[in-house]
Amino acid sequence: MDCGLKFHEAGFDYPAKVFEVRNVDGVFLTHAHLDHSGGLPFFHHYRMLCPIFCTPETSKITEILLKDSHKIARIRGLNEAFNDMDLKDVYKQMKFVPFGEPAQFRSVKYTYFNAGHIPGSACVRIECEGKSLLYTGDYNTRSTKLMQPADPHTWGSVDIMITECTYGNKQLPDRGPLEEEFLEKIEQVLKRGGRVLIPVFAVGRAQEIAIMLAKRDWPVPVFMDGMAKKVTRAIIEGNSPGVANKNLLQKMFSKVEFVASEENRERVANSPGIFLTTSGMLQGGPAIQYLEQMWSDKRSAVLLTGYQVKGTNGWLLNNEQTAYIGGYRTKVQCEIVRYDFSGHLSSDDLKDAIRAVRPKTLIFVHGNRDAIANMTAWAKDEIKCDVITPEVGEELIIEDGKSTIKKLYEDCTGGECIYEHQHTHGDHHDHEYDD
């Protein structure tokens, strides 16, 4: 169930230990973000030769992100997790799965459902040996401008549910008023003669912001830069039934001006405009170059549109009004505003999803300690099921509704939860991980 990679400044943290992966029969991939797909060529390098089940959109976007990740690792001289041949072989192993149609692989019956997270994202229901398991991956049960919501009521009840809980201790703001506030801020900045820099994740956020921008006529050009261009084109050309407002996305994509070179970027950065570009945390990519041209202009604004990992330029801008520009920590003069858009679900929505599935065993992953602790306390009180919060290096054995945990090895991070938002290296570290 997924096969991710977690990076740090010198290369990658996870997988922390490689087991005998030759015995893996198949991979059920939920979506393209690298913390879910990035380990595929790495494990293939260790001879994990098996089918990789995913939607066509996930396959295409995963290919784009893996190529970019590998290219940046080479450029920066990092410890590469895989080589070009591994990448090519992974693509050959991918088997396309449509939404809502049960299929069979050996003794396993599986069904993919729209997850509402990014294009192609899926929640996977598995039935085998008389038991049922639901693995959510990342999901969202609220509509966004880009995605139709996941519907937990279509998944059926299961014996085991493995769910993300990224915002297990947080309520996200209502999207409608937030979107209007975002668009009004752009209008305000343009009226005072400023430029608008919108750093975005290449997958999901870039397209959602483009759809928002398509709803108004702007007096200045809208520029699109970085990997957002390639991913947006793939989404428009795809046929995912979970994507919403594709007509508006296509409309905006046909109107934006694409920035294709350093020379062109420097020229347009000093002209009036709205700049939609990676990376979402300003750790690399064109966004930091635009900031270099704008930081001293008090009329201009940087509108952050997602989660900002502590220590990144995005986090510094949001919390301290500073950023590393040209190697120096600089006090930024332009306006900084952060909007809490997300492709995940709030804690109340997460609880509703669990109520709809009513699992006998509930496993929380993909959340920090506070989020997991909050959801665990709630589930034990209301759902009254077996709740498990695994740590890296543990194997779960679930039999007759009872679980036991076997420690396979000591986690090198000191027992941190399976996933925390600590991706800080380079452009590819924040456009492939959602907020």
Q: Quickly state the pLDDT bin for 81 (edges 50, 70, 90).
A: low
Domain end (from 314, 338, 362): 338
Q: Which of 270, 267, 258, 273 is nearest to 195 (CA)?
A: 273
242 token code pair: 């979970």
Does residue 307 lie within any of the structural domains?
A: yes
Same domain, 323 and 380: no
Does residue 110 lie within any of the structural domains?
A: yes
218-255: pLDDT as tens digits? 999 999 999 999 999 999 999 888 999 999 999 999 99
Q: Quickly state the pLDDT bin for 415 (edges 50, 70, 90).
A: very low
Q: What is the pLDDT of the chain when averaged over all its residues? A: 89
Q: Which of 242, 204, 231, 244 is nearest to 112 (CA)?
A: 242
Distances in whole angstroms, Cα of residue 359 to Cα of each of 114, 354, 379, 387: 20, 7, 10, 10
- Residue 78, pLDDT score: 58
Same domain, 84 and 151: yes
Listed in sequence order, the residues at least 6 apart from 209 whose beta carbon sits closer than 8 Å to its beta carbon are 198, 200, 276, 305, 341
Domain end (from 289, 311, 338): 338
- Residue 427, pLDDT score: 37
- Which residue(s) pair with 384 in the sheet? none
Strand order in the sheet with 27-28: 27-28, 52-54, 94-96
Same domain, 334 and 356: no
Pairwise pLDDT comparison (423 vs 115), residue with the higher score: 115
Same domain, 249 and 273: yes
Does residue 391 lie within any of the structural domains?
A: yes
Same domain, 185 and 318: yes
What pTM value is reported for the model? Answer: 0.91
Max Cα separation, the chain? 66
Does residue 30 lie within any of the structural domains?
A: yes
Q: What percent of the chain has pLDDT over 70?
A: 90
Same domain, 121 and 29: yes
Does residue 434 lie within any of the structural domains?
A: no
**For residue 5, is pLDDT > 90?**
no
The domain spanning residue 364 has which CATH number?
Answer: 3.60.15.10
Same domain, 216 and 322: yes
The two beta strands, 222-225 and 274-277, are parallel
**For residue 428, is pLDDT > 50?**
no
The domain spanning residue 196 has which CATH number?
Answer: 3.40.50.10890
How large is the average pLDDT for residues 307-324? Answer: 94
Q: What percent of the chain has pLDDT over 90?
A: 73
Pairwise pLDDT comparison (160 vs 309), residue with the higher score: 160
The distance in angstroms from the start CA to the end CA of the chain is 21
- Residue 12, pLDDT score: 64
Domain end (from 338, 360, 395): 338
Rounded-to-integer distance, Cα 384 and Cα 381, Å: 6
How large is the average pLDDT for residues 398-415? Answer: 73
Rounded-to-integer distance, Cα 102 and Cα 209, Å: 34
Same domain, 159 and 199: no
Q: Quickly state the pLDDT bin for 345 (edges 50, 70, 90).
A: very high
Domain count, the chain: 2
**For residue 423, is pLDDT > 90?**
no
Does residue 406 lie within any of the structural domains?
A: yes
Residue 260: DSSP 8-state: -
Q: Can you state the percent helix, strand and coil of the chain, rounding each to 5?
A: 35, 20, 45
Same domain, 157 and 273: no
What residues make up the domain containing 91? 6-170+343-429
Does residue 1 lie within any of the structural domains?
A: no
Does residue 36 lie within any of the structural domains?
A: yes
**For residue 116, is pLDDT > 50?**
yes
Q: Quickly state the pLDDT bin for 393 (edges 50, 70, 90).
A: confident
Q: Where are the alpha helices (DSSP H) in 239-358?
A: 246-255, 262-269, 285-294, 313-320, 347-357
Same domain, 333 and 347: no
Same domain, 88 and 217: no
Same domain, 319 and 268: yes
**For residue 192, is pLDDT > 60?**
yes
How large is the average pLDDT for residues 139-144? Answer: 96
Least confident of 180-184, 238-242, 399-403: 399-403
